[in-house]
Amino acid sequence: MLALIGTVPDKGFPLVSGTVTLKDDFLSLDGHKVSVNRGTPALIAAASVTCEALGLALPFSFLVGDEGIGDGSRKLYKRLKDCLPYAGARVITFHYLQPDVDWHNRILWALEQKDELPVLIADAGYMYAAKMSGFAPSYDLFTPDIGELAFLADDEAPHPFYTRGFILHEEDNVPNLIKRAFEGENAARTLLIKGAKDYICTRESILATVDTPRVEALEAIGGTGDTLTGMVAALAYGGYTVEEAATIAARANRLAGALAKPTPSTQVVDIIKEIPKALEIVLVEAARNGDEINLTSNFSRSLGFCHCEPPARRGLCPGRRREAIS
């Protein structure tokens, strides 16, 4: 199971869990509908279309309404602590939740009671809580943007709002911020940094950078980081290593953006519609060209990408998956 966890901006939305359906720019779950606009609904929509393209089972979502008061998040935290360790999830992505270190720790410790941990991905508010908790290295992937990377790099900051001014949030300072984040034990095992250039890195090195196609308007569009995280989660669920998944998703997210021909006023739902096509292009391109997909490191060579026949009947790249996912 791929579990996706977050909130929707509707205080009347109850705590629900299950497999969503995506239709006419809306997600439906258990009779409740929510617009795919930004935030967790955008992540779920992107993960769902990616799973569908790869021929995988659709994600299982845990959702609750929360407009920022935190009440919905706390209900969801309680449910997660009780249910998540027994859900059988192989990949879990935590997303827009009110950052709460105490609840974060309770959930992590509950998961750790099981002998095996699933792949853990954190973005948005849950990534803030994970960093504050001191347990960031327990996670497999964080997906910060530049402002959030500066927060991870600042050992003192309890939230990006308090990141100290001398830690510059600039693109040309990214390698330094990465180094600080890992040295302070404030990073997951892998970071995917979203920016004008996307970085995929571990404590040891920057594994890959992805900077094409370059679509400047994407930074302004709410939800483009969420779609990227959703795609990574689905690809990791499909058997790619976290680093591979992050690299493929970074490229495909940019391409989906380019295909949508966006302006800064474009809404993310128009980009999500292009994800299946973008993913197909990236995987076919990778299969055809091996390491020639404009990644700026040698990582794509070791990655090998997709050495199967693209695309198959339901999945774009089923032979690439290293393990059957049920």
- Binders in 95-114 for other proteins, by CB under 8 A: 96-102, 105, 112
Establish if 90 lies at the interface with other proteins (CB under 8 A): yes
- Total of residues contacting other proteins (CB under 8 A): 80
Q: For the segment 268-307, give every residue that binds other proteins (CB under 8 A).
A: none
In sequence order, the β-bridge partners of residue 252 are none
162 belongs to the binding site for other proteins (CB under 8 A)? yes
Q: Which residues pair with 23 in a beta bridge?
A: 26
Instruction: By CB under 8 A, tell whether 37 contacts other proteins.
Output: yes
Under rule CB under 8 A, residue 165 binds other proteins: yes
Name which position in 4, 5, 9, 234 contacts other proteins (CB under 8 A): 9
Dihedral of CA atoms 243, 295, 51, 27 in degrees, nearest 10, equals 100
Q: Least distance in Å: CB of 141 to other proteins?
A: 13
- Within residues 235-254, the interface with other proteins by CB under 8 A covers 239, 241
- Is position 128 an interface residue for other proteins (rule: CB under 8 A)? yes
Contact flag: residue 315 with other proteins (CB under 8 A)? no
Dihedral-angle region of residue 230 (phi above 0 means left; psi in -120 to 50 means alpha; beta otherwise): alpha
Q: Are 231 and 253 spatial neighbours (Cβ–Cβ below 8 Å)? A: yes
Q: What is the spatial distance between Cα 66 and Cα 7, in angstroms, rounded to a whole number?
A: 6
C-alpha 190/C-alpha 178 separation (Å) is 10
Residues of 64-83 as b/e, b for ≥16 C-beta within 10 angstroms?
A: bbbeeebebbbebbeebbee
Residues 173-212, one symbol each (x = binds other proteins by CB under 8 A, - = not), give ------------x---------------------------
Residue 59 found at the interface with other proteins (CB under 8 A): no
Q: Which of 46, 53, 91, 248 binds other proteins (CB under 8 A)?
A: 91
Distance CA 156, CA 159 (A): 9
Q: Are 202 and 189 in contact (CB under 8 A)?
A: yes
Stretch that binds other proteins, among 62-70, 79-87, 207-215, 282-290 (CB under 8 A): 62-70
Q: Given the rule CB under 8 A, which of 19-27, 201-209, 223-231, 306-314 is the region that contacts other proteins?
A: 223-231
Choose among 321, 317, 295, 299: nearest CA to 308. 317
Confirm or reject binding of residue 263 to other proteins (CB under 8 A).
yes
Q: What are phi and psi of 143, to 5 degrees?
A: -130, 70
Please tell me whether residue 221 binds other proteins under the rule CB under 8 A: yes
Single out the residue of 15, 26, 55, 70 in contact with other proteins (rule: CB under 8 A): 70
Q: Does residue number 126 form part of the binding site for other proteins (CB under 8 A)?
A: yes
